Chains A and B, each alone.
Chain A
Amino acid sequence: MRVYRPTAIAGSEITPEASYFNRREMLRMAAAGGLTLAAPSLASGATQADLQFSPGGYDPEEEITPEADATSYNNFYEFGTGKADPAAKSADFNPRPWSIMVDGLVNKPAEFDLDALMALGLEERIYRMRCVEAWSMVIPWIGVSLAGLLDRVEPLGSAKYVAFETIVRPDEMPGQRGLFQPLNWPYVEGLRLDEARHPLTILSMGMYGKTLPNQNGAPVRLVTPWKYGFKGIKSIVRITLTEDQPASTWNRLAPGEYGFYANVNPAVDHPRWSQATENRIGGGGFFGSNDRPTLPFNGYGDEVAGLYAGMDLKANF
């Protein structure tokens, strides 16, 4: 009797059907002389694949931001400082193959490739996302619990913080090239260990049912829905457990404007704009735009407020 043997090819290496057809389409158009026009959109589409996941049990039951808005209105300074830059200039970025080194104050430092990460259990979680610039979205992320990954490396008792680092690839990331560099690379971020282990904290590998597009932080990014979006470090290559509070890029640049904690807080204004209200993206033009009050901890206070008991969140913002 013949036994079914699973294929030796990793799931992440299989070309998804859509990109296979995209490739044919691209070749066909290239033959017709339309390559320069067609290449950027097809190239970014070709890096996305469908994902298998289970429901994660989080849904704010608010209107989900249209995918076109969530994938074309981004901050990702590695691709440029404009909101449209990441979508327009990230086609050369190659997020596969990929691996994340997890080290520092742990018993078992290890390198995880995408399949190992996905094997931690992909879940879909619909989270509110609030940017420090006072706009917000509702995004169906697909990811794994960061706590699950940290369990694998067995943090030492001395570990108190988790530091994250983004990739540096000037050849593929135009924002990292040239005379003028707005930020210091690599982009770094950090969480306290209890924040990192919180059930809401995920490493996201997808959104809207598919793998992350480059402009949203392919292939792996952090999502902490009760914090401002800049904490959600993208294209992570290294996670290090530390005893001291790690540096975070925006905090280093302007400590008075971007705190280490970066918890969403309507009572603490950014020096240049109020945080009392926010603009929900995707209202469909000037007159459908959707202002709403900002919720403390972005509406996740019941789950996370306990992490900050006894802290003055106006000082530790």
Chain B
Amino acid sequence: MPLPALPKRFHAASIWALYGLGLLPAVWTFYLGATGQLIGNPVKIFEHLLGEWALRFLILTLAISPLRDLAGINWLRYRRALGLLAFYYVAMHFLAYMVLDKRLALGVIVEDIYKRWFITIGMAAFVALVPLALTSNRWSIHRLGTGWGKLHRLIYPIAAAGALHFCLAVKVIGPEQLIYAGLVTLLLGWRLVRPRYMAWRRSRREIKTGFARTQAQAE
């Protein structure tokens, strides 16, 4: 049962709408925090919100191709925006940590990255995301050719690192961490079984068409 398709002339607009909607949680929470409306620990609340949305967008980015494989829904046109939103949120998460939380105390930040495992892992994921964000344009895709696809497979370890970073950052791994880690595992696991699944599907199609051909010949 195919979904009603969006008319082609709305494609570009829908992508811009996704950017707008996607950035809304950050903008709104920043406004609340800057105007003193976040009760408790505003800096941490903002920092955690940015990190959580980064993970959500990473997961959505990874969900695009299984959605097409398994449900036949082609949302490939949204993948770049989702990936870039993930990058923007990771960058804002890091900025909030550096500027609002640590007040640019570089010594403390370097010590954190060096000494604290979950920060090392998070930092590595952020650094790895930078080349992906920089090459997420048509020109780079043409320029890099098959190398582009290979480079962008970095998203797999990055997503795993993001989920691990979240699990290691909390005092106790709770249901929330388990849900994110579980989704990332599932989506990465799909990449492992995908070649076999696609081969099986191809062979089934061939059997069907082959059967149809023999039928046609018999008649």
B-binding residues in A (CB < 8 A): 68-69, 72-73, 77, 81, 83-84, 133, 135, 178, 180, 182-183, 253-254, 257, 271-274, 279, 281, 283-289, 291
Contact = CB atoms under 8 A, between A and B. Distances in A.
Given A81-B174, A180-B174, A286 B100 contact: yes
Interface stretch (B37-45, B73-81, B140-148, B155-163): B37-45
A257 B172 CA distance: 12
Which of B38, B103, B174 has the most chain A CB atoms closer than 10 A to its own CB? B174
A281 B172 contact: no
B175 A83 contact: no
A68 B38 CA distance: 11
Interface of B: 33-46, 100, 103, 108, 111-112, 116-118, 168-176, 178
Given A272-B118, A274-B111, A182 B36 contact: no
Contacts of A273: 112, 116
Which 4 A-B pairs have CB atoms at the shortest separation, nearest pair first?
Answer: A73-B40, A285-B36, A284-B36, A182-B172
Contacts of B170: 81
Given A81-B174, A286-B33, A287-B34, A279 B103 contact: no
Contacts of A182: 172-174
Contacts of B111: 274
14 contacts: A68-B39, A73-B40, A77-B172, A81-B172, A135-B44, A178-B175, A182-B173, A254-B171, A274-B111, A274-B112, A279-B44, A285-B34, A289-B43, A289-B100
A83 B108 CA distance: 25
B116 A272 contact: yes
A289 B116 contact: no
